[in-house]
Amino acid sequence: MKFSMRTIALVLGLPLAAQPAIAEDEAYVDNVEGWSILRDVERSGCVMEKVNENGFLFRIGKTEAGSEFGYVAVYTKDKDVNVIGGVSKDVTFDVDGERFYGTAKGDFRSGGFRGGYAEANNEAFGEALARRYVLTINPDSDNPLALSLDGTLKAMAATRDCEAHSLAAVGMADAAQQSSLEMGAVASWNSLISNNDRAARYAEDAFAALVFPEITKVGLGVGGEGGNGVLYDKENVLGYYRTSSLSFGAQAGAQTYGYVVMFMDQDALNKFTNSKGYELGVDGSIAVFNAGLTAEADTTNLKTDTVAFVFDEKGLMANWTVEGTRIKPLNF
């Protein structure tokens, strides 16, 4: 589809939580499925953006950190585009035939970009963007704008991860918060090995343990989960880490759990600590012990160099999978 953008007072100016890519206070984080992930170094928010085949810069983001994806922004360097700064206008989003509605505002940006943003008034908009194929803005107008949604599911997960990591790094800057995390990790570790014979047996031979005392799952449908943890050897704190993953079928309200990863030899520990980003079950083999597996274990027959125990406030959990769980270091 070929179209012009003579009037762009329909999708226009980013919310405070996420300034455009040309802003000086943003940092490039990653490229996922063709989407660039950017972090606002001052506000800890993150956005995803890509340029379509007609040269328009599209952004998808959140109005504030921690909320659902809810706005789409469009910018161009075309000097013939007529943008009226601050002008608001109703806008229609068509996502593979499903329609959402919102309000757009025109805006100007540095670096020769002009355009703006539109925020949808339906919380289901973000999930539609993650799971559908084509977004068309104002489909019934003379100048509709179309964007392929290829890769949005993984890019949204990466954007959430970026946001969570950024917020965690800011929140952990205070030494008192580090101390609180360490105390929570120690309490979770002691509870695990005191109440589970298998965990206690593995702990005797482990070279190090990574303890995430509290991981929170949030969101409806396609949600996210994350939490902070501490890596210990037998005597010292070796570092702080952030775990995150995309969750499907999440229920309303926050749900919490924790997990411990034990590294059973030095090579496994080195591989983990030398990585900038580690994905469980992908970057190394791992055995996961869930509910009901409490008998004594013979570690001499272990066929993997890494084991994990998952727990909630009632004890070991069932039906937890490691696929898609990412761990990154927290830098203070």
Last residue of some domain: 113, 135, 161? 161
Is residue 15 in some structural domain? no
* 186-234 residue pLDDT tens: 999 998 888 888 899 999 999 999 999 998 876 544 557 888 999 999 8
Give Cβ neighbours of residue 214 (< 8 Å, ≥ 6 apart). Answer: 184, 227, 256, 257, 258
pLDDT of residue 279: 87
Which of 215-224, 281-290, 292-301 has maximum average pLDDT? Answer: 281-290
Residue 9 within any structural domain of the chain: no
Mean pLDDT check: name the lowest of 42-51, 253-262, 319-328. 319-328
Residues 40 and 154 in one domain: yes
Name which of 196, 201, 188, 276 is nearest 232 in CA terms: 188
Whether residues 324 and 203 share a domain: the answer is yes
Q: Work out the burial of residue 190: count CB atoms within 10 Å of its CB; fewer than 13 is exposed, 13-18 middle, 19 or more buried.
A: exposed
Angle 197-205/175-195 helices, nearest 10 degrees?
Answer: 120
Residues 281 and 260 in one domain: yes
- Nearest C-alpha neighbor of 83 from the set 19, 137, 13, 2: 13
Residues 204 and 242 in one domain: yes
pLDDT at 52: 84
In a domain, 221, yes or no: yes
**Residue 153, pLDDT score:** 92
Which residues have a Cβ under 8 Å from the Cβ of 128 and sit 6 or more positions away?
A: 95, 96, 98, 100
pTM of the model: 0.52
How many domains does the chain divide into?
Answer: 2
User: Do 183 and 319 fall within a single domain?
Assistant: yes
Judgement on whether residues 197 and 150 belong to the same structural domain of the protein: no
Of 115, 134, 161, the position where a domain reaches its end is: 161
Q: Phi/psi at 308 (nearest 5 deg)? A: -135, 140
Most confident of 65-69, 222-226, 228-232, 308-312: 228-232
Q: Do 157 and 176 have their domain in common?
A: no
Q: What is the CATH number of the domain that holds 150?
A: 2.60.40.1880
| Last residue in a domain, options 161, 183, 203 | 161
| Model confidence pLDDT, tens digit, residues 76-119 | 877 776 555 555 678 899 999 999 998 877 665 556 677 777 88
In a domain, 20, yes or no: no
With respect to residue 6, please indicate whether it lies within any of the assigned structural domains: no
Q: Tell me: the pLDDT tens digits for 122-153?
A: 888 989 999 999 999 889 988 888 889 999 99
Same domain for 220 and 287, yes or no, is yes
Domain span at residue 257?
172-329
**Bridge partners of 100?**
93
Residues 151 and 79 in one domain: yes
Query: Is residue 17, in this structure, part of any structural domain at all?
Result: no
Q: pLDDT digits over 11-35, tens only?
A: 333 332 333 344 556 888 999 999 9
Mark whether 184 and 315 lie in a shared domain. Answer: yes
Q: Tell me: do 137 and 204 sit in the same domain.
A: no
What is the average pLDDT value for the chain, to the nearest integer?
Answer: 77
pLDDT band at 238 (very low <50, low <70, confident <90, very high): very high
Residue 13, domain member (yes or no)? no
If asked whether residues 143 and 291 sit together in one domain, one would say no
